[in-house]
Amino acid sequence: METSDQINHLKSFLKKIQQLKGYGDMNSYVLAYEYQKITDVSDSKINKIIDAFSSPKTWYLGKIKFIDDVETQIGEVYNL
């Protein structure tokens, strides 16, 4: 995938994460698995994201961390 296409895809993906509504939003799990497919992240990192989405106490911080991870991924693509 071309760098600009990859950046656009990640930015579009980031918007989906930002639109998550809250604890119980099943799209959060779908997006975690989609993230694994479009990037090179480990199973353990995906499991941490899913664990964070599994509790109302950790859901919001998990979303913020997920957003940060995708923004970092975008930055890494820019630096290629």
Q: For residue 25, with 0-12 CB atoms within 10 Å meaning exposed, 13-18 middle and 19 or more buried, which class applies?
A: middle
Res 5: pLDDT: 87
Per-residue pLDDT for the chain (80 aa), expressed as one digit of tens each? 578 888 899 999 999 999 998 887 888 999 999 999 888 889 999 999 999 999 999 999 999 999 999 999 998 887 76
Res 76: pLDDT: 86
For residues 28 and 32, give the distance between their C-alpha atoms in angstroms, rounded to a whole number. Answer: 6
Please state the domain extents for the chain: 3-78
